[in-house]
Amino acid sequence: MKVQKVLLQSDVHSKSDKTPVTVADYGLFSNSTLHTLLSSQAIVSFVLVKELSTEPFSLVAEEDSGDLRMESGQETLHRITKLVNDTLVIEESYTVATLSSEDVLYAIDSGKSEGGSSGRHWVLDPIDGTKGFLRGDQYAIALALLDEGRVVLGVLACPNLPLASIGTNNKHSSEPSNEKVGCLFFAKVGEGTFMHSLDGSSPIKVHVSDIENPEEASFFESFEAAHTSHDLSSAIAKVKLGVKAPPIRIDSQAKYGALSRGDGAIYLRLPRKGYREKIWDHAAGSIVVTEAGGVVTDVAGNPLDFSKGEHLDRDTIIIVTNRKLMPSLLKAVRESIQEKVSPM
Ligand SMILES: Nc1ncnc2c1ncn2[C@@H]1O[C@H](COP(=O)(O)O)[C@@H](OP(=O)(O)O)[C@H]1O
Ligand SMILES: [Mg+2]
Ligand SMILES: [Mg+2]
Ligand SMILES: [Mg+2]
């Protein structure tokens, strides 16, 4: 949050589309982003190892230390080490000793497990929605626990997500947006999904929307058109289902969080051909939604399979909604895909 604030105050955002303006700005942006995601991975990994010292530890995480071990990476490593220590200072129980650069490298590279169908594996996306982070929009820190290939626990921190609904039905765009932001969702298998503010309000139980009529539903999708087909989702939602509201396009698993509390009723992810989704992009989000009463499936109607290592199957379409809307949504997705493949 600190780095994003500095980034946004650095005045390198172009006014109109919130993207960096010059080549030098891109340098600043990608460096700051690298610091943030590696620091986040180091902190979460360090804390997990410390808390779970009595059991075997396996972590599947998105990032690795990469060039940090080389001569050219020393300045970056130094800054990341400082960022990690400055952050851990806030949490008194972890300030026993200052972490060295070696400790930080070790923590980052503890995330090298491949996961799989046996035993327990933690799954971490230290910054999900990197593009959103850069733009000053939505991003998430997503942590899940797999047990025998099944997600049994999920935590989703969404530092920029308003505590109030972001659904199109509840939004009055003319009102100034001085809403409070920063939500944390957590779900444990069989125990429901809870949300509290990042600064620590008491948790409230959340539920997915109970909308039955698709015309009243609003739907989420990726902000980035490279991550999902906006055309296909609009064909499905508007044409097949009669959804009236425009799509809510936001980055990261904040979509799962928002859906779990009923801000919108549908989330569609239609990746381009050949793409294999990573488990850390969906593990935490999926249990947050299912424990809130929702359903997360592929196009065959099966739950996502997190037991095959780092990836889901190639060409996995992800469909998220409540139980009542799922049958008509599945039908609409299948029909639209059919029509796309074999146009009349
Ligand atoms: N071509 C592609 N298709 C689908 N997802 C992609 C993609 N390229 C990258 N992604 C993933 O989409 C994630 C962001 O999802 P969303 O679009 O919902 O914000 C990225 O997570 P990271 O930002 O953690 O790398 C990345 O893993
Ligand atoms: Mg991600
Ligand atoms: Mg990431
Ligand atoms: Mg990434």
Q: What is the pLDDT along the chain (344 residues), one digit of tens a residue?
A: 888 888 777 755 554 556 665 666 667 777 888 889 999 999 999 999 999 988 899 999 999 998 899 998 899 999 999 999 999 988 877 766 799 999 999 999 999 999 999 999 999 999 999 999 988 899 999 999 999 999 999 999 999 999 999 987 555 555 555 689 999 999 999 999 999 999 988 999 999 999 999 999 999 999 999 999 999 999 999 999 999 999 999 999 999 999 999 999 999 999 999 999 999 999 999 999 999 999 999 999 999 999 999 999 999 999 999 999 999 999 999 999 999 866 55
Kind and range of the H or E element at 332?
Answer: helix 326-341
* Probe residue for ligand 1, chosen from 137, 143, 161, 227 as the CB with the greatest number of ligand atoms within 8 Å: 227
Instruction: Specify the long-range contacts of residues 31-36, CB closer than 8 Å, at least 24 apart.
Output: 31/76, 32/3, 32/6, 32/7, 33/127, 33/130, 33/133, 33/134, 34/76, 35/3, 35/76, 35/79, 35/80, 35/83, 36/3, 36/4, 36/83, 36/127, 36/133
Whether 130 is a known active-site residue: answer yes
Atom of ligand 1 nearest to the CA of 222: 17
142 within 8 A of 283, measured Cβ to Cβ: yes
280 within 8 A of 145, measured Cβ to Cβ: no
Q: What is the ipTM of this complex?
A: 0.98
Cα 86-64-28 angle, rounded to 5 deg: 60
Task: Write b or e for each residue in 297-323: b if 16 or more Cβ atoms lie within 10 A of its Cβ, otherwise e.
Answer: bbeeeeebebbeebbbeeebbbbbbbe
Q: Ligand 1 centre and the CA of 229: distance in Å?
A: 13
Q: How many CB atoms lie within 10 A of CB 87?
A: 16
Rounded Cα distance, 178 and 280, in Å: 31
Judge if the beta carbon of residue 225 lies within 6 A of ligand 1.
no
Q: Which residues have CB under 8 Å from 333's CB, separation 6+? A: 236, 268, 299, 317, 319
pLDDT of res. 63: 96
* Probe residue for ligand 1, chosen from 44, 128, 249 as the CB with the greatest number of ligand atoms within 8 Å: 128
Judge if the beta carbon of residue 311 lies within 6 A of ligand 1.
no
Environment class of residue 341 by beta-carbon count within 10 Å: exposed (0-12), middle (13-18) or buried (19+)? exposed
For 285, the 3-state DSSP assignment is helix
